[in-house]
């Protein structure tokens, strides 16, 4: 396995380079995907949402509107440049917050959030099971998490995973639906199910779970 320092550096370099153009028209499919995810999460006034691997914060800004001034929308990302762009884009919006952080060690208190999302970031996470436990820790009882990522449920996606791993240094792995279920359940979360989302040449799924009320 790649060491943490190398993994972090490779991903920071890649996404620092993307940051200045991340919200131009070439990446509109990300916005459409994030809009679908937010729509299925039933966000209400006063809720707190966290976006893991938030990039320039489009989904966070959109969620800030949906949760209203009594709620809070936060984003974390490994990339310093992505966080810089996110803060600039959200300047003047009072109920947003961005921090540079790793999903394996989140800078938030226990039971801080009602909703957690991540779109097209999970395959970059070095130790996803550790991150899942962090997600479970910061979720309130009854809260929900939705992770969208290319899902290796067939031979085509397994081949795509192998291809990307050979050509993208920061890529770790695309997981199957069964692996998502296992990671959620091992973190103490109830796997709710998945919904297929098509983007570009690959097939992505939105994997949802919830933290049961204690």
pLDDT at res. 155: 93
| Cβ pair 140, 72 in contact under 8 A | no
Q: Which long-range contacts (CB under 8 A, 24 or more apart) does 187-192 make?
A: 187/129, 187/132, 187/133, 187/135, 187/136, 188/133, 188/136, 189/132, 189/135, 189/136, 189/139, 189/145, 192/144
CA distance 119 to 148: 5
pLDDT at res. 25: 82
Ranges assigned E (strand) in 151-201: 190-199
| Cβ pair 111, 139 in contact under 8 A | yes
pLDDT beneath 70, residues of the chain = 1, 198-202, 214
pLDDT at res. 1: 66
pLDDT at res. 29: 85
- What is the CA 177 to chain-centroid distance, rounded? 16
pLDDT in tens, 157-198: 999 999 999 999 899 999 999 999 999 999 999 999 998 876
Which helix (H) or strand (E) element contains residue 89? helix 80-89
CA distance 42 to 47: 10
User: What is the model's pTM?
Assistant: 0.95
| Cβ pair 129, 122 in contact under 8 A | no
pLDDT at res. 169: 87
Query: Which distant-in-sequence residues (6+ apart) come within 8 Å of 151 by Cβ?
Result: 157, 174, 175, 176, 177, 180, 194, 203, 204, 205, 207
CA distance 173 to 175: 6
Homologous superfamily (CATH) of 4-210 is Vaccinia Virus protein VP39 (3.40.50.150)
pLDDT at res. 199: 55
- Which of 101, 58, 57, 59 is closest to 79 using CA atoms? 101
| Cβ pair 47, 115 in contact under 8 A | yes
| Cβ pair 196, 209 in contact under 8 A | no
């Amino acid at each position: 396995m790649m060491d943490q320092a190398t993994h972090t550096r490779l991903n920071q370099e890649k996404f620092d380079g993307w940051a200045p153009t991340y919200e131009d028209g070439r990446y509109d499919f990300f916005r459409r995907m994030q809009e679908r995810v937010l729509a299925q999460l039933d966000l209400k006034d006063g809720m707190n949402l966290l976006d893991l691997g938030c990039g320039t914060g489009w989904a966070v800004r959109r969620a800030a509107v949906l949760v209203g001034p009594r709620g809070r929308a936060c984003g974390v990302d490994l990339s310093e440049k992505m966080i810089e762009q996110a803060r600039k884009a959200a300047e003047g919006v009072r109920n947003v917050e961005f921090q540079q952080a790793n999903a394996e060690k989140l800078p938030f208190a226990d039971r801080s959030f009602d909703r957690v999302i991540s779109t097209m970031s999970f395959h970059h996470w070095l130790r996803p099971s550790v991150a899942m436990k962090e997600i479970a820790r910061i979720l309130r009882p009854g809260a929900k998490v939705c992770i969208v990522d290319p899902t290796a449920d067939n031979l085509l996606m397994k081949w795509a995973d192998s291809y990307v791993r050979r050509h993208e240094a920061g890529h770790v792995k695309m997981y199957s639906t069964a692996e998502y279920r296992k990671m959620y359940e091992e973190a103490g979360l109830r796997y709710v199910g998945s919904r297929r989302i098509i983007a570009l040449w690959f097939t992505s799924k939105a994997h949802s779970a919830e933290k049961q009320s204690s």
